[in-house]
Amino acid sequence: MKSIVKEQFLVSTFFTFYLVHSSQIGIGILSFQREITKDAQQDAWLSVIIAGLSIHILIWLIYQTLDDRHNDIVAVHDFCFGQLIGNIFSILVLLYFLLSAFTVFRTYIQIIQVWVFPTIKTWQLALVLGVMIFYIVSGGFRILTGFSIWGVIIPAFLLLLLYFPLQYMNPRLLMPVFNHTVKEILLSTKASILLFVGFEWIFMYYPFIKGAKKSQKWAHLANVISTVLYLIVAVVSFMYINQDTLQHATWATLFMTKIIELPFIERFEYIFIFIWILVIIPTLCIPIWACTRILKRISNSNHLKPKISLAFFIIVMIVAATFIENFVEVDKLGKFISNVGFYFLYFYIPFVFLMKLFRNQLTKMLSKAQ
C-alpha cells in the first residue's frame, strides 16, 4: 500500500543532499582509518574511492526500485512478496535500522567515556542521549531534515582543522603506491563500506521529498562529497600517522585534533567531541524515525502511536547499552553492523530491485493476457 504524506510534511528536493551526506558522515569518520588499513595499508585510499563509486550504483538501484505507487520499502515488500511475507522482510529492515542507530549510540558513549568522562556510567550517558533522541524525533521528519544541515556544515570545518596535522605530514608515508594485490584492496573496500551506510534510509523518507524522482541527482552529489571528504581525511591521516601507529590508533581523527593548540583553548578535542553530537544526530535519529515509520506502516493501526514505538525503541537502546561495558564489545558491535550493512547494501538492495523488476514484468504479462 502506498505511503501517503500530507503536503505540509514534505521537504524540498534539494534537502536530499543534506539528508544523504549527513547520514554518511557520522561517527565513522572519527575512527575509520584503522579498519581500512588492515589489509591495504597506505593504499587504502584506493578502497575509499572504489567504495564511493559502488555506492552510486546502489543509489541508482534504490531510485529504480521506488516509484509513485510503491514509494517506500514497506510498499515494495508488499508488492513483491505479499503482505504477510512482505511484513516479515519489513521487520528485518526495521531491526537493521535499529541496530545501525544503536551502533552509533553506543560508540559515541564510548568516545565520551574514554576521552572526556572516564568515570561516568554508561546508563547515565545513555539516558541523556535517549531523551535527546526522543525530543528530536518527536518533532517529525522536517526537524530531522533541519538537523541534517549541521551534519554537512560541521564536517566541512573539519577540512580547516586538517591544516594543523598537514604542517607535520610526511608524503613518503604514502609510498610505495599500488603495492597491494587486488584481493587486499577489495578487503579494504569492504571495510570502507560502513563509512557510507545511511543512504539506504531513502527507502523510508522517499515519500517525504517533493518531486522525489528528481532528488536522485542530489543523492549522487551528496555521495560524491562524502567520498571526497573521506578521501582527504584518509590521505592526511596516512601522511601524519605511520601505518604501525595507525593500527593502534582507535580514533585516528580525534588523535590528530590533539595537536591543535589555541591561546584560549587547552584541550580542543573536548570541544570537537561535544560539537560532533550535532553531526551524529542524523545517524542516530533518522534510522529511529524510520523504525517508527515502518512499524506504523505494517501495523496499519491508529492505536499504535509513533511516540509509543519511539519510546520503546529508545528504552531498548538504553537497556542494551548497559550490557556493553568495554571497548572490545563495542568494537565487536561495530564489526558486526559493518558485515550486516555490507550484505544489506550489496545483496539485499539488488535482490529487491530484481524482484520488483520481475513483478512489474509479470504484472504487465498478466494484464496483456486478460
Superfamily of domain 14-330: Amino acid/polyamine transporter I (1.20.1740.10)
The amino acid at 49: I
d(CA 364, CA 370): 10
> What pLDDT does residue 178 have?
83
**Residue 266 C-beta-side C-alpha neighbours within 13 Å:** 0
d(CA 65, CA 99): 24
Among 164, 2, 142, 167, CA closest to 68:
2
- In 10 A of CB 333, how many CB atoms? 18
Helix, strand, or coil (residue 209)? strand
Q: Do residues 159 and 23 make contact, with C-beta atoms less than 8 angstroms apart?
A: no
d(CA 347, CA 72): 18
> What pLDDT does residue 127 have?
94
d(CA 164, CA 203): 39
The amino acid at 264: F
> What pLDDT does residue 177 have?
82
The widest CA-to-CA distance across the chain, in whole angstroms, is 79
Q: Do residues 92 and 203 make contact, with C-beta atoms less than 8 angstroms apart?
A: no
> What pLDDT does residue 2 have?
62
**Residue 242 C-beta-side C-alpha neighbours within 13 Å:** 3
**Phi and psi, residue 262, nearest 5°:** -125, 150
pLDDT tens-digit profile, the chain (370 residues): 566 677 788 899 999 999 999 999 888 888 888 888 888 888 889 999 999 999 999 999 999 999 888 889 999 999 999 889 999 999 999 999 999 999 999 999 998 988 888 888 999 999 999 999 999 999 989 999 999 998 888 887 777 778 788 888 888 888 888 888 888 899 888 888 888 988 999 999 999 999 888 999 999 999 999 999 999 988 888 888 888 888 877 788 888 877 776 666 667 777 888 888 888 899 999 999 999 999 988 887 666 778 889 999 999 999 999 988 777 888 888 888 888 989 999 999 999 999 999 988 887 787 777 6
> What pLDDT does residue 150 have?
86
d(CA 167, CA 293): 48
d(CA 148, CA 208): 15
d(CA 136, CA 281): 9
Residue 60 CB burial class (10 angstroms; 0-12, 13-18, ≥19): middle
Give the CA distances from residue 36 to residues 59, 66, 184, 190, in Å, rounded to whole numbers and listed in that order. Answer: 22, 32, 10, 8
> What pLDDT does residue 130 have?
93
Please name the residue that has the C-alpha cell 608515508. 173
